[in-house]
Amino acid sequence: MTCYDRRDLGLLLLRLGTGGVLAAHGTQKLFGWFGGHGLAGTGQFMESVGYAPGKASATAAGLAETGGGLLLALGLATPAAGAAAAGAMAGAAAVHLPNGFFAQEGGYEHAASLGLAAACLAVTGPGRLSLDHAFWHVFDRGWMVPAALGATAAATAVVVGARNRRLRRTAEGEQETLFEE
């Protein structure tokens, strides 16, 4: 290669693949595209797995996946895009965690892979075949990486923690009576 090296091409392919999959999943949630259920159906699902309010949770997840995915694919605002997508995938992984690792058993494998790829792109940057590079990395500064990942980790911990508390309270309320009176 002349202008660009293999690393830039590899990052472009990783960004396009990861970003494309994330954006497709997000549009399922937001608009019902690609066989998705839109905000109403996804909101009901989110409520059923402990994310409340459901419609707001579906909107947040859909925007993080769609926006983060599109921005990753374009290589624009890469630290924030990667962090947003990784946070959404951490929330998805929490839902699938009880099923183990492998996706065929309903596990968190897919969400973890997408989240890890998004986080790695946030850390490594988009490469020279990107809008960040074309715009002189105005939205891709070194300090933005820990800021974006730290803020997303904190927000994700709060949201997933609230979900887990909600699920525990629900499970405690649904326990069978041990002794009949």
pLDDT tier at 147, thresholds 50, 70, 90: very high
Strand ranges, E, within the chain: none
Q: Is 137 left (phi over 0), alpha (psi -120 to 50) or beta?
A: left
The CA–CA distances, whole Å, from 131 to 9, 71, 78 equal 14, 9, 9
Among residues 51, 38, 35, the alpha carbon closest in space to that of 92 is found at: 51
**Is the distance from CB of 114 to CB of 61 less than 8 angstroms?**
no
**Is the distance from CB of 29 to CB of 38 less than 8 angstroms?**
yes
**Is the distance from CB of 140 to CB of 79 less than 8 angstroms?**
yes
Q: Is the pLDDT of residue 178 over 60?
A: no
- Compute the C-alpha angle 72/78/80, nearest 5°: 105
Q: What digits encode the pLDDT tens for the residues 28-48?
A: 999 999 999 999 999 999 999
The DSSP element (H or E) to which 162 belongs, if any, is: helix 144-173
Residue carrying the six token digits 């105005």: 138
pLDDT computed for residue 2 by the predictor: 55
Across the range 153-175, mean pLDDT stands at 92
CA distance 133 to 141: 11
Assigned token pair, 153: 């980790």
pLDDT computed for residue 94 by the predictor: 97
pLDDT computed for residue 173 by the predictor: 82
Q: What pTM did the predictor assign?
A: 0.92
Q: What digits encode the pLDDT tens for the residues 1-20?
A: 456 799 999 999 999 999 99
Within 10 angstroms of residue 114's Cβ, the number of other Cβ atoms is 25
pLDDT tier at 160, thresholds 50, 70, 90: very high
Among residues 80, 87, 128, the alpha carbon closest in space to that of 111 is found at: 87
Q: What digits encode the pLDDT tens for the residues 68-126?
A: 999 999 999 999 999 999 999 999 999 999 999 999 999 999 999 999 999 999 999 99
Identify the three-state secondary structure at position 4: coil
pLDDT computed for residue 140 by the predictor: 97
Q: Is the pLDDT of residue 168 over 60?
A: yes
CA distance 46 to 177: 28
